[in-house]
Amino acid sequence: MHCTLGFDAPPAPVWVRGNAGALEDALRNLLENAVFHTRQGTEVTVAVSPSGTVSVADRGPGIAESDVPHIFERFWRGRGVSRPGAGLGLAIVAEIVRAHHAEIQVKDASRGGALIVMKLPLF
């Protein structure tokens, strides 16, 4: 692996309403995407908050504002992406978020790169 993974945990467990397997798939897709796009030697960070927010931040090139409306579309892979794949990972995340009546946002990470935030319903 060319990066490290960090985890910012809340002081107590956070219980969210949803299908554990589907939410695991969403988080895995976000992590795989972040690891692929982050710069070598940097950190990808997952943070969970007591409000049910799960965020994944990388230190890659970020997401151009003009691309944000497209990143959750099926088969859309971004400009200049040369790795194998069908462009379905973030589309799957978006469907899981919708099915859970949750929200997803794309932001610029505070230290550069992309920040994707899922706001999940609390149990």
Under 8 Å between Cβ of 8 and 46: yes
Confidence band for 88, pLDDT divided at 50, 70 and 90: confident
At residue 1 the predicted structure's pLDDT band, cuts being 50, 70 and 90, is low
| Bridge partners of residue 7, in order along the sequence | 46
According to the model, what pLDDT value does residue 21 have? 97
Locate tokens 């910012």: which residue? 8
Cα 69 to its chain centre, rounded Å, is 15
CA pair distance 51, 119, nearest whole angstrom: 8
Instruction: Provide the CB-side half-sphere exposure for 60 (13 A, CA).
Output: 22
Which structural domain range is residue 71 located in?
4-119
The answer to whether residues 6 and 45 touch, using CB atoms and an 8 Å cutoff, is: yes
Q: Residue 97: enclosing H or E segment and its boundaries? A: helix 89-99
Could you read off the pLDDT of 13-59 as tens digits, one per residue?
Answer: 999 999 999 999 999 999 999 998 899 999 999 999 999 999 999 99
Interatomic CA distance for residues 34 and 29, integer angstroms: 9
Distances (CA, A) of 44 to 30, 33, 41, 105: 10, 10, 10, 17
pLDDT recorded at residue 67: 86
Q: Would you place residue 3 in the very low, low, confident or very high pLDDT band (cuts 50, 70, 90)?
A: very high
Structurally, the chain folds into a number of domains equal to: 1
* pLDDT tens, position by position, 61-86: 888 888 888 888 887 666 655 566 65
- Note the pLDDT of residue 68: 86
Give the mean model confidence (pLDDT) for residues 91-95. 95
CATH of the domain at 13: 3.30.565.10
